[in-house]
Chains A and B, each alone.
Chain A
Amino acid sequence: MDDAKILPRKGGTHIDSTMKNTLRTADKPSPTPAQPLTAEARPVQQQQRRNPPIAGELTAIAQAQQGDGASFEILYNMHKRRVYSLCLRMLGNVAEAEDLTQEAFLQLHRKIGTFRGDSAFSTWLHRMAVNVVLMHLRKKGLPLVSLEETLEPAQDDGPRKDFGTRDLTLSGSIDRVTLERAVEELPPGYRLVFVLHDVEGYEHNEIAAMLQCSIGNSKSQLHKARMRLRSLLRQKANGKGAA
């Protein structure tokens, strides 16, 4: 494969010594949050936990920015699983998730020259992927935060519905596969907020900006998502759920 020949980027950004320093700093995430609503605003520890530095990534970024196709393929292989898993969890559909993974990496190829290392590369890329998914959902005309779910919560969703005595607690009873399946069963609006907040680690102010809803709405949707998950997981724990 001669990607190196087919992917020269005209006007690709060169990395000067200042930028190299910035990129090195990005590998040890910046100690000072920048502005709200950006990936940089997320707690450093959280970014590091979610997006640990990857060996060889800085070199691949620098070379891909100069048009090296093989380095772009290396970046794809480093990040494809994370980007695809994010798309799949947000969409719940394999074909759409693959299409949007493709679109996210094509967008990365177009924009990689603008990456300046202000945040970890993976944080920057994942935010790009989230935006690709949200734009896709908007184009389909799907409400990102369901009004119906907000105004008329289902039986298990309402915060005032849980007054009965319960014996079982979930603690220790959930395995990863069971939780993944339960997340897939969430209504789309709940699933988006849950994946963005609890799985991907975005803050409510970031989610509100992305979904164009209020922060309170984001908190409310997240709470309802967790309540619905609790109900689903209890059913599964009792053997009544997944057939």
Chain B
Amino acid sequence: MTSNRSRTSIECEEFQRQLPEFFDSGQDLLVHRHVQSCQNCSSLVRDLEYIAAQAKLLLPIHDPSPAVWENIHNALTRQQKDDDKSS
């Protein structure tokens, strides 16, 4: 029993150590032999894939304050005046 548990733990450790590369390879991890036999790693993979998928759906929702454009406009006006003086 103990040896089974430690073998599982070693398999989990080895699988999770390789996870960054597995994810980057784009392979379907849910069909990986270890994932199919390990509820914990299966849950981990599903969660991480879900987080990555949700992140792709994050939209740009924040607007800068009107002061940002005012500052840009003022800076460009100053620059224009400087250019006019020097020419």
Which residues does A use to contact B, with CB under 8 Å?
A: 1, 3, 6-8, 10, 69, 73, 76, 80-82, 84-86, 88-89, 97-98, 101-102, 105-106, 109, 159-160, 162-166, 169-171, 174, 176, 179-180, 183, 194, 198-199, 201, 204, 219-220, 222-223, 226-227, 229-230, 233
Contact = CB atoms under 8 A, between A and B. Distances in A.
A165 B73 contact: no
Contact of A84 (B46, B57, B64): B64
B64 A230 contact: no
Q: How large is the interface on B (under 10, 10 to 19, 20 to 34, 35 or more residues)?
A: 35 or more
Contacts, number: 135
B55 A198 contact: yes
A223 B44 CA distance: 12
Interface string B26-41: 0000000000000111
A212 B30 CA distance: 33
A165 B39 contact: yes
B61 A85 contact: yes
Given A81-B62, A85-B61, A159-B17, A169 B47 contact: yes
Contacts of B41: 162
